[in-house]
Structure formats: C-alpha cells, structure tokens
Amino acid sequence: MSPMLVFAKTTLITNIKGYTITDNNLDSFAAIAFTDDKIDKIYSATDKLPTSKNLTIIDGEGKTLIPGLIDSHGHILNYGLSLLRADLVNSTSEQDAINKTLAYAKNNTELTWIQGRGWNQTQWPSNAFPSAESLDKQFPKQPVWLKRIDGHAGWANSKAMAMAGITKDTVSPEGGEIIKDKNGMPTGVFIDNAMALIDNSIAPLTIKEQKQVLVKAMDSLASYGLTSVHDAGIDTDNLNAFKELSQENAMSIRVNAMLYLPSTKWQQTLAGGKYRSKDDMFTFNSVKIQADGALGSRGAALIEDYSDHAGHKGLLLNTPKEFENLVNTSMRQGFQVNSHAIGDNANKLVLDTYEKYIKATKTQDLRHRVEHAQVLRIEDIPRFAELDIIAAMQATHATSDKNMAQDRLGPTRILGAYAWRKLLDANAIIAAGSDFPVESPNPFFGLHASITRQDHKNSPQGGWFADQKMTPLEAFRSFTLDAAYSGHQENIIGSLAKGKKADFVLLDNNLFTIPEQNIWQISVEKTWVNGRLVYKK
C-alpha cells in the first residue's frame, strides 16, 4: 500500500493593516500568505490575491497585524511559578503584603511552604524592609518565603529561618547579605546570594513539575503577543525540561535559553555544546552571568557610594577574577555571553572584561550582551558599538524605578541611567524585554514606556528624562528585529518577509496611529507561532 500524500495547507490572512520593518523603514501591507511554518508572500493593497481550493482564507476585519514580539530578557519558570504563588505586586504596605499572603495560603492549604513574589518596600509608606516578626503573627508554624519584585531580596518568617538553620551566628555569604537588627538578630530579609540559604531548604521541582509550569507560562506569554522569549538564566534541569517539551512539540512560543553560570553541572552542559531544535522552537547558545544585584535593594554595584546610603556601594556577586574565568571559559567554548549589570561599577567591570576576552578569543561576532545596562558612566556608552556589544534593556524598569532611582544615584549619575537615546545615538543596538516576572511581560507596556517614558497615569508630564525617549519605530524595532538579532535569529524571525517564520500577532488597535499614551492598553486578538494559532482571545 502506497503512503498517503499530505498536501501542505496554505493560509491567507486578508483585510489587515499590516506592518513590518524592511531596511530600517516601516512598511505596510494588506495581506499575508503562509504555508506550514513559513511565509509565502506579503501582499500590498494593490496586489492581486491568490485563489485556490487548497487555500484557507481568514478575514482580519481591518485589524492590525505585526511581527510576533520578542522579549529578550524574561524568566519563564519563575513567571510560571508566579502564576501559582502569592501575588504581592502592588501591595500598598507590609501589612497589605501579609494579608495577600494569608488569603493565598487559605486557598492553597495543601502547601508545606507558602511562597510569594512581588513586594517592593519603596512603594510602602515605611520605605523600609519588612520583618520576620510581622509575618510570624499570622504564620507562627508554617514556613513563609516571599521574594522581592526584582528577585534580589527575600523575606522569610522565623519558621523558614529555623528550617534553614539561620541563627544569630550565621555569616552572610560572599555577594549577599543577611540583614540583622541592632542586637545582631536576622530580621528575615536576605539580599542576593544570601537568598540561597532559604532557597536550598525548599525541595526542588521535578522535571515533570517544571514542564507543567513552563507550559502554563508559555501559554500565558503567547496571550500578550510574545512569540519568542530569551530565558535569562536557567539551570541544566530547566534546559532538559525545555528540550523534552520541544521534542514533544509542546511549546507554544519560541525560547532562546541562557545557562546561568555558575550553576550545577554548568561545565558539563557547556562541554555538551549548543542546541537547536529542528523547528527552531528551542535554542541554546548563550550563558547568563550576574555581575551585581538590583538598584531597589541597593545591591547594584556603584563606583561611588549610594547617594541615599553613605558608606554603601552595593555588591559584586562574583569577584572580578571569578567573573573573568566564567567569561573566558564561555567565550572559548563559543557561547554568547550575557551579563547582568545594573550599577556603573558592574557595567564597567563587564565592559572591561568583555573587551579583554573578545580580543583574546576573537568572538566579537557572537554579539555578547549586557543585560539591563542600567547605570552607565557616560564615557562607557560608546564602548557598546565599538565592541559590538548589545544592550539588552527593559523600558518598564525606568518607569517603575523613576520614584527612587535619582535618590539612589544623585543628579549626575542619573544622566547615564536608563539612557536609551544616548546609546542609540552612539550606534548601540538595544534589544528590548521586560525582565518578567519582575515587571509585567506585556510588551505593550514596554513599547509605551520606550516611547513616552511615562507610567500608565501619564506621569510625569512630558516623560521622565524625556530626552532619552525612543521613536515609535526604534521602540518597535527593539521588540522585533533587534531582539531577534540579539539572539542570532534575525534571518528567521523579527520581521515579516518571504521565507521567514510565520510568527505574527493580530491586535485590537493600531500601534502606529493610536495616541501614544494609550499604547499600553493595546491587547492581542490572536497569536501565531510557526504558522500555528497558539492564542485566540
């Protein structure tokens, strides 16, 4: 018996206001045809459309269609877990965060540990770190562990500290801090590397559990119009979970993974080489190294003292020698190096180290990246283009941090912070993202912040340091072609053209004609990835 012939089905989406970038110009089109996972043709308003029995036609109802948006820096497993944990984002006080945690615990009585994420003490009236004592009143016997919104600090109750063996005599690890009161007792707040003291007391997820969380996260991300995400720092188990999901055809969006260094078995994993699935849904060709902490928790490494904390310069999470070793090892094995750097000291360390080892390893074409590139010395800004280093930045960090950043940095250093215009004018490439779950994964929040430098209440008037705004085209490019370029994937995704992957989204409003202050309110009607409809409103 002869095998059945399977005819590829072509789909034509008509009656759309389509936009894509061609040669740095914004091009418009009226229809798009694709077969399986590839685009066949883009049609202008005057082109004759094809007709065929084997053609599925979708009426776009005059809505806007754009390339799938790419988040160059998110944390998929943590985002999935955040969907399953106490949500403390927008908590108005320490007590409000406790009340939210209590409500979550009452709805999840089967849990041994109560975990949550999203608190931000700079948005509370106290502007002070929380305490174990306040948690203990509601949770005297059950361990509680609540991560700060940026993931660089954690808040534990006494039961959690007891289970982790934390006492008055416990010493803060290198690159971390156990905050203690005037009597030397731990207050319950752990900064950066000290968080591992609590994390290590919690049973890790199995590969099966990880896969369930990842699928939930990816499905949610597709609903925001994200068709590809660069997962900024995973371990070998997480990598294996993604590999299994890609082999099972169970991924709704593309993932470009960075292996976190140092993490368990990282040397063996790098020695195993890069990985790319046949359908390009999963790629592993880069690493993530953390130079410092975050600005909000004063863990970002600054050259001079914090303007609002004399005698404190933040934390380097690896010694310069350790950092050099990780960079050198990764570059020599052919991996793109992506380093988290918030403070000006951390950014200078990363740029200095990159300059040294890019030359030694001849890996300039690997497009090494600085993740966040948040506070830069003005003289370091031209180095990005000179060394072909990409600035992977998150616009919503600026609108979230605007209430505290100048307090931390003072009037001079702030001029090199969140400095998108200065970087673009110096010919740097900016790859956009959100750093979810630190911020919302919604890319329209990021596009809005890039273009307006305002929050959702149109504050401040005219924009925060408005001279650093991006143009709408620059912002769009940072979430499409330049984000694709930063993952070595600009030839397959990031714009819509014949032969590229069929990744695109249909919107309820026109990104390019809507008033700028309303961009954050755009929502996604449908999302296609690899030619498959993966989300429908």
Return the pLDDT at 223: 98
The predicted model scores a pTM of: 0.87
- Listing DSSP states for 107-166 in one string gives H-TT-SSEEEEEE-GGGSTT-S---HHHHHTT-SSS-EEEEETTSSEEEE-HHHHHHTT-
Return the C-alpha torsion angle 472, 478, 480, 486, nearest 10.
170
pLDDT above 90: residue 110 = no
Specify the length of the chain in residues: 537
Tokens of 177: 């801090």
Determine the 3-state secondary structure of 245 from DSSP: helix
Alpha-carbon dihedral sign for residues 223, 504, 372, 406: negative
pLDDT above 90: residue 54 = no
What is the chain's mean pLDDT, rounded?
Answer: 96
Backbone angles phi, psi at 334, to 5 degrees: 85, 20
Of the pLDDT bands very low, low, confident and very high (cuts 50, 70, 90), residue 6 is: very low
Could you report the per-residue pLDDT of 386-397, keeping only the tens digit for each?
Answer: 999 999 999 999
Using N-to-C axis directions, what is the helix angle for 207-222 and 236-247, rounded to 10°? 70
Tokens of 450: 């890039």
CA distance 373 to 234: 20
pLDDT above 70: residue 2 = no
Q: What percent of the chain has pLDDT over 90?
A: 94
Return the pLDDT at 53: 80
Backbone angles phi, psi at 190, to 5 degrees: -125, 130
For residues 215-236, average pLDDT: 97
- Is residue 414 within 8 Å of residue 422, measured between CB atoms? no
pLDDT above 60: residue 4 = no
For residues 192-203, average pLDDT: 95
- Is residue 388 within 8 Å of residue 359, measured between CB atoms? no
- Is residue 157 within 8 Å of residue 170, measured between CB atoms? no
Could you report the per-residue pLDDT of 445-479, keeping only the tens digit for each?
Answer: 999 999 999 999 999 999 999 999 999 999 999 99
Return the pLDDT at 204: 86
CA distance 270 to 279: 22
For residues 150-156, average pLDDT: 95
Of the pLDDT bands very low, low, confident and very high (cuts 50, 70, 90), residue 7 is: low
Return the pLDDT at 203: 87
CA distance 123 to 247: 44
- The candidate with the shortest Cα–Cα distance to 17, out of 422, 525, 437, 535, is 525
Tokens of 116: 């949550």
Residue 510, exposed/middle/buried by CB under 10 A (0-12, 13-18, 19+)?
Answer: middle
Return the pLDDT at 131: 97
Of residues 112 and 415, more confidently modeled: 415
pLDDT above 50: residue 212 = yes
Could you report the per-residue pLDDT of 314-362, keeping only the tens digit for each?
Answer: 999 999 999 999 999 999 999 999 999 999 999 999 999 999 999 999 9
Amino acid (one-letter) located at 527 = T
For residues 135-152, average pLDDT: 96
- Is residue 433 within 8 Å of residue 393, measured between CB atoms? yes
Return the pLDDT at 3: 45
Could you report the per-residue pLDDT of 269-290, keeping only the tens digit for each?
Answer: 999 999 999 999 999 999 999 9
